[in-house]
Amino acid sequence: MTDVITAALMIVGAFFMVMAGLGVLRMPDLFLRMSASSKASTLGSGALLLAVAVHFGSVGVTTRAVATIVFLLLTTPIAAHMLGRAGYFVGVKLVETTVIDELAGQYDLRSHRLRSKQPATAPPESDQPQV
């Protein structure tokens, strides 16, 4: 039964890794390519790591596999966001079929900060001293 689960997880992982590669090849702009590659490759890598954990079945291997999956789930979205933000700052063009660019005019290119459409309100000051 372990071999069947391992084989199924390997097939699922390989499928999502191939889909990530196809997404990079087929998507028309940087932002869609990053979306396809980050989501599908994280899912594919997670399935392959689970296959390794199931196949070996030891606590040490399973712990490392789960820790690696958690690490991937925590870091991949952040890395994709940072790369997308950098691409937007340097002027990577959106695909022609993009209907609206909601960030146009909202970034300060000198400080790299996002301007808010509505000003944030400061919390009311209290008489309590700051610690």
Angle of helix 2-26 versus helix 30-56 axis, rounded to 10: 170
**Whole domain around residue 81: which residue ranges?**
2-94
Nearest to 34 by CA among 74, 92, 90: 92
Max CA distance (Å), the chain: 66
pTM: 0.75
Whether residue 58 is contained in a domain is answered as yes
- Rg of the chain taking only CA atoms, in angstroms: 21
Whether residue 35 is contained in a domain is answered as yes
Distances (CA, A) of 115 to 10, 59, 97, 122: 45, 48, 25, 16
Whether residue 113 is contained in a domain is answered as no
pLDDT band at 119; cut points 50, 70, 90 = low
The listed range with the strongest mean pLDDT (30-34, 88-92, 104-108) is 30-34
CATH number at residue 35: 1.10.287
Model pLDDT for residues 4-43, shown as the tens digit of each residue = 999 999 999 999 999 999 999 999 999 989 998 899 999 9
Whether residue 65 is contained in a domain is answered as yes
Nearest to 15 by CA among 53, 37, 41: 41
> Is it the case that residue 129 has pLDDT exceeding 80?
no
Whether residue 13 is contained in a domain is answered as yes
Model pLDDT for residues 42-68, shown as the tens digit of each residue = 999 999 999 999 999 999 999 999 999
Domain count, the chain: 1
Nearest to 103 by CA among 95, 48, 94: 94
